[in-house]
Structure 1
Amino acid sequence: MPGTSADDPFAGRQPTAHERMTGLPWDASYHDGPAPWDVGRPQPAVVRVAAAGGFAGAVLDAGCGTGENALHVASLGRPVLGVDVAGTALAIAREKAHDRGIAAEFAVADALRLERLGRRFDTVLDCGLFHALDGDERPGYVASLASVTGRGGTLYVLCFSDDGPGTGPHPVGRHELRAAFEPATGWEVAAVEPDRILTRFHDDAGAPAWLATIRRL
């Protein structure tokens, strides 16, 4: 575990529920080949949102992994910062950006302490992070997202759904999204639509998902 200096992005960080369950840090997911959620291309839902002009202004990809979603948005000319706790994933993302000639920024950060970035964003993407946090972690995460999202900004959450066969691990109910991002937390859920998430352990159709569009109040 890193130290506790003022410059340490992990100062005071506790292992997430996923890390406690597996007994391994998130970084370990990238040590022996691609992680289960690393499909080598952007998620189709993210591509559709981008094609519809959904990523406006400065964009944050929270839990960016090896950067495919962030790189796709950046390739369209948006300023993008991808953050993750997994240094191995970020190294891969930076190499991809260099090889593809895409101007995207990647940084180590704790998604539960995003205020430490000292920056504001107009659009935020969470692809596969919300569903990995348990109920006790979600309020802090929601507040963390609010701390870096400008008022009137948009958050997109793509997460495993509990609706349908072949669900992924840690599936989420529609009501859980609405409860987490209620107006009292500084957010308003504009829509929660059924979608799909591609993974390395599902077939080409992927797993049932929700795509939530959430506005910062």
Structure 2
Amino acid sequence: MSDGPGTSTGDPFGGRFPTSHERMTGVPWDASYHDGPPPWDIGRPQQAVVRLASRGAFSGSVLDVGCGTGEHALHIASLGLPVVGVDVAGTALAVARAKAAARGLGAEFVTADAFGLGELRRTFETVLDCGLFHSFDAVERREYAASVASVTEPGGTLYVLCFSDEGSGTGPHPVGRDDLPAAFTRDAGWDVTAVEPNRVETRIHDDGAPAWLATIRRL
């Protein structure tokens, strides 16, 4: 989980303008990893992502945006696919690289701002966002959708797993079903083909939190 648009002289944010979540908490994403794993880092891939992978949902080159400590990127890499994980949290990326080395997997982990993905100068057939989209406000979500579009190949697929506002025990920053097509519009180069109920596993929810799993095609 990561990132923010623009630039800033604020030293804790490494020259980035902090996201709405960072402005609310007053600390950068990297600080979340300084005293042990944050609530979203469960030490394994989300079951929703594992199920996607088992159905062959990931193909070609894969981008994991807001990859954290890398469990999803590493799971995808274990299937033999080239994968790049990006985040602004250097502490999390260091953990991800150590995991990749220990497991003998070739996943690549890169520091990158989710609002400036074009700077990667690469494109991907499949993109995964697990737990990042819901951390942005409405304005940021539209900027983020444009950024992801810049690195997704025409006909490619973006999967978004985010907190839902439906049901009990919702996570922070819950997302309405309509918030996804409001951000990923056809004018921005997207077609939201499915938004389905799911669960996000966390360290503080016994049975996970209500979630949406969206399948979004790049036009």
The answer to whether the superposition gives a TM-score over 0.5 is: yes
Distance 1:12 1:69 in 2: 27
User: Structure 2 stretches of 5 or more lacking a match?
Assistant: 1-6, 8-12
> Which letter does structure 1 place at the counterpart of 2:147?
S
Q: Which residue of 2 aligns with 1:27?
A: 30
RMSD: 1.2
Structure 1 runs (4+) greater than 2 angstroms displaced:
10-13
Taking structure 1 as the reference length, the TM-score comes to: 0.94
Alignment pair present for 1:155 and 2:155: no
Q: Which residue of 1 aligns with 2:213?
A: 211
After superposition, where does 1:13-92 map in structure 2 within 5 Å? Answer: 13-92=16-95
Distance 2:113 2:26 in 1: 18
> Which letter does structure 1 place at the counterpart of 2:32?
S
Alignment pair present for 1:171 and 2:211: no
Q: Which residue of 1 aligns with 2:140?
A: 137
Q: Which residue of 2 aligns with 1:121?
A: 124
Give the one of 99, 104, 111 matched to 1:101.
104
1:51-88 per-residue CA deviation (whole Å, 9 max, x = no partner) reads: 00000100000000000011000000010000000000
1:92-126 per-residue CA deviation (whole Å, 9 max, x = no partner) reads: 00000111111100000000000000000000000
Distance 1:68 1:215 in 2: 24
Q: Which residue of 2 aligns with 1:7?
A: none
Give the fraction of aligned pairs with identical amino acids, expressed as a percent: 72
Q: Which residue of 1 aligns with 2:10?
A: none
Q: Which residue of 2 aligns with 1:146?
A: 149
Distance 2:137 2:47 in 1: 26
> Which letter does structure 2 place at the counterpart of 1:27?
D
1:101-153 per-residue CA deviation (whole Å, 9 max, x = no partner) reads: 11100000000000000000000000000000001111110000000000000
SS of residue paired to 1:102: coil
Taking structure 2 as the reference length, the TM-score comes to: 0.93
Distance 2:25 2:158 in 1: 28
Deviation at 1:12, TM superposition (A): 6.1
1:21-56 per-residue CA deviation (whole Å, 9 max, x = no partner) reads: 010000000000001100000000000000000001
User: Structure 1 stretches of 5 or more lacking a match?
Assistant: 5-9
Distance 2:73 2:48 in 1: 13
Deviation at 1:11, TM superposition (A): 8.2
> Which letter does structure 2 place at the counterpart of 1:70?
A
> Which letter does structure 2 place at the counterpart of 1:159?
C
Residues 143/11 of structure 1: CA separation in 2 closer, same or farther (3 Å cut)? farther
Distance 1:111 1:12 in 2: 14
